Chain A
Amino acid sequence: MGPSEQTAVPAELTELLKQVTGFDAFRPGQEEVIRSVLAGRDTIAVLPTGAGKSLCYQLPVHLTGGTVLIVSPLLSLMEDQVARMKSEGEKSVAALNSFLTPPEKSAVLRNLGGYRFIFTSPEMLMQRHVSDRLNELDIAYIVADEAHCISQWGFDFRPDYLRLRQWLEGLRRRPPVLALTATASEEAIRDIEAYLLMDRPVKFIYPPDRPNIALQIVPLAGREEKTEWILQEIPVTTGPGILYVQSRKRAEELAERLRGCRVAAAAFHAGMEKEDRMLVQQQFLNGELEWICATNAFGMGIDKPDVRHVIHDQLPSSAAQYIQEIGRAGRDGGQSLATLLYSGQDAETAMFIALDELPDPAVVRFLADCIASGENARTAGERAGLSETAVRVASYWIGEEGADGAAARMEALAAGKRRGISEMVRFAEGEGCIRERLLSLFGATPAQQTGQCCSGCGLRMEEFRNGRTPGGEAPALSGWKERIGRLFNLSTL
């Protein structure tokens, strides 16, 4: 049976919820979004991080039948989501992305109709043999995950994502589209609507407030003082926690010094082997590690419900990024803390890093000339010393609007980034309620009463110091037979 607008929506969706996930009740927003999808409407849902966005696409397919196609621009996040769904017992999931080797890819493509959930990336959709196979499927609905990435005003605009539009235009029958994001400005929502060719979408926009996360800003003089604060505070405040830092080197340095203070900590960054990144995630999930010192370069899509503390060692480059990262705390609803360590020099560093990415007009023209003379954009970009992302963004706009248009786009993007950082500086240096200041950047106000609001309103810090989580055992070397025995659960005999 094909998915259609006639899908009967049971009055009691909670029955289905219980059956599929074991949960008794929806979290705010979920049920409304699911009903809209079931009614066959195009839907835009802006739900705060930790609100359970993925449930919004996991559930309806149990009534509609068919396949759900989830398009996600962030590969690492996609991998994490697939792994998580599988670990929750949903086996009918496939990821179709560039991580696959050719034989793996053809295996997935051969069985495509057999999956309930197919995750893919926008680039994949542009491959003819992939889109042909997808076109044969009975697609119940399409999900645009992290939809803010489609907007050039978002903090992580992915031009590839715009190709989703071309693909949608080429579909025989266009199923309803569900756009999901945690953060989106009004401009971004307009872009989402336009680029995804949405037809009078229903919009559910929830303020990104997370009342159970208390906010704290600690002004410090510089890197040295931050290090000192971290080494002093982390050992006495409640974990587990994530410490966001700017560089791989800083992640490794702080993890090592924390271990010196008897905190089970490890670094996590894109320079590590894939296997080791998996191990660190696992140790963190298992409670064998209490703190992770991570760069934001790598999307930490891991769903650990009891993260109690998120610390930023550096000013994030936008409010959207900040709110997304602190949203990894307190997913279980328990009282948690987000700390921003702020020093006067942070803006300069953030500015440098954000703008270093973007090619200036002269470089855009150089790139355009190279492309015009038949050179591959990637190699030309390499010669100009551009990052991969920068080449992707610039060459997309060169193709769309020519060199001058692209240069203007880059200028506008740079201006947008500068605005974002200035906003964060004003936020960090401002007076009064931190929560109000943060939410005002999203045109929202605190919705609910909070137990602990922010350092501006006054925090009862002792409540965040009521003991370290003892956690599991930190990873250690043991005799080989003993360890193999433990792996096979002989220790309990």
Chain B
Amino acid sequence: MSFQDILLAIISRLDGERYKHAAFHLMKGKRSGQTLQDTEYYRLHPFFGMLPSLGNDDFDEAYGRLSEEGLIIESAEGIVSLTDAGRNKARTLPATRLNGWVYRGRERIFFSRLSLAVQTVSNLAAGRRGFLPVTNDPAIQGDVRRLLLAFRGTGSAETFRREIVVSLEESGMEPGRLSRLAARLSGAGISGMTWDQLSEATGLKPIDLKTELVETLHIWLSVIEGGRYAWLSALAEGIRPDSLLTGSARKTEELYRSGLPMGAIAVQRGLKMSTIEDHFIEIAINDPEFPLDHFVSDADAEAVEREINRLKTRKLSVLKEKFQNLSYFQLRLVMARAGKGEPHGAV
């Protein structure tokens, strides 16, 4: 799927309820309460953080084209909706195989390690000890050095190559996609191709190639996580995070679990209350055991959920009008838990 198609798929889920930049923040993986909430309500997990270094230019270009092609339309207030043509087009799009919510851009670390490992093995096999590494990142260099030492002398290069080939075959990805993946790798006497070079060779736009590579890596990682490939598993170590919470939210959660109330956490951490609230939303989204009833009564929570289903809306302002007695924070918490399927307040 092209970047533009992916943008259309995202907008089709946010249809008529969000501004243009909601999709941008989503793709970049912004850790704000709003974006995390959107991800959850609109089931946008595959796309969250898919391109952390996405630039405005690429985004605006794709957005502009969707608009020119009459697939989307912006209201006077800037709310984006699909046109009928857009809705028809969105229905024909294939399902994405991105897994942004889980990997959050960390597939790049896997690919850097892989690139450096391939380059090193390739140069050693060619009898060259000195070469300009594809990455200067000392963390990546350290990872690869440890890995190569660990696998030293086990008939290794051929095993490594076979793992790459067999796992990619197992993934079922089509050959064109795999040749674009292989083209980014460097070795003795052959260098990887830049995005511009690949673009010229394939006729695809650089942003589409970048998006495709992310998806390719997500698919490949899911195969590798089956655990049958020793080299590749070592290269993928730590890529799938243990906790889906961001670092700062994790700290807030720890303090909360140790018994501190929200206000005290804000004071102790020197953070604004709104930030702590964002953390709680993040925790509520991620933690199936979140004790919602400590924040909202069961009756209120049920009423809000009924209203969400009745109005088919996730708009905070609409809900706030209806439930003046509840704070925005309480409403956001209920929305975060809505549709999670287990009884509220189960601890």
Contact = CB atoms under 8 A, between A and B. Distances in A.
A431 interface: no
A266 B186 contact: no
A84 B133 CA distance: 9
Interface in A438-493: 472-473, 475-481, 483-490
B148 interface: no
B198 A279 contact: no
Given A266-B197, A288-B190, A475-B197, A281 B138 contact: no
B130 A107 contact: no
A286 interface: yes
A291 B52 CA distance: 32
A279 B186 contact: yes
A481 B187 contact: no
Given A88-B130, A276-B194, A475-B197, A480 B189 contact: no
How many residues of B sit at the interface, in one of the four size bands?
Answer: 35 or more
A479 B175 contact: yes
Contact of B139 (A89, A94, A101, A480): A101
A477 B198 contact: yes
A487 B197 contact: no
B190 A489 contact: no
A477 B179 contact: yes
Contact of A87 (B133, B138, B182, B198): B133
A107 B138 contact: yes
A477 B131 CA distance: 23
Given A276-B196, A480-B168, A480-B182, A488 B187 contact: yes
Interface of B: 53, 118, 121-122, 125-126, 129-139, 142, 157-158, 160-161, 164-165, 168, 175, 178-183, 185-198, 200-202
Contact of A79 (B136, B185, B194, B201): B136
Contacts of B183: 475, 477-478, 483
A278 interface: yes
Contact of B185 (A87, A276, A483): A483
Given A104-B138, A107-B138, A477-B180, A488 B161 contact: yes
Given A472-B189, A477-B179, A477-B180, A280 B125 contact: no
Interface residues of A, number: 51
A333 B131 CA distance: 22
29 contacts: A79-B136, A87-B130, A88-B130, A89-B130, A94-B138, A101-B139, A266-B194, A266-B196, A279-B192, A279-B194, A281-B132, A282-B134, A282-B192, A286-B189, A288-B191, A475-B197, A476-B201, A477-B193, A477-B198, A478-B182, A483-B179, A483-B190, A487-B185, A487-B190, A488-B121, A489-B125, A489-B187, A489-B188, A490-B161
Given A276-B195, A288-B190, A487-B122, A87 B139 contact: no
Contacts of A317: none
Contact of B191 (A82, A84, A286, A490): A286
Contacts of B122: 487-489
A99 B137 CA distance: 9
Interface of A: 79, 82-84, 86-89, 94-95, 99-101, 103-104, 107-108, 259, 266-267, 272-273, 275-276, 278-283, 285-286, 288, 302, 472-473, 475-481, 483-490
A275 B190 contact: no
B191 A487 contact: no
A285 B132 contact: yes
Nearest to B142: A107
A481 B130 CA distance: 26
Given A272-B194, A278-B134, A279-B194, A489 B181 contact: no
A266 B134 CA distance: 17
Contacts of A483: 179, 182-183, 185, 190
Contacts of B164: 484
Instruction: Identify the 5 closest CB pairs spanning chains A and B, nearest first.
Output: A487-B187, A480-B178, A276-B194, A480-B182, A483-B182
Contacts of B53: 273
Contacts of B180: 477
Nearest to B161: A488
Contacts of B194: 266, 272, 276, 279-280, 475
A137 B264 CA distance: 43
Contacts of B182: 478, 480, 483-484, 487
A479 B186 contact: no
Contacts of A281: 132
B195 A486 contact: no
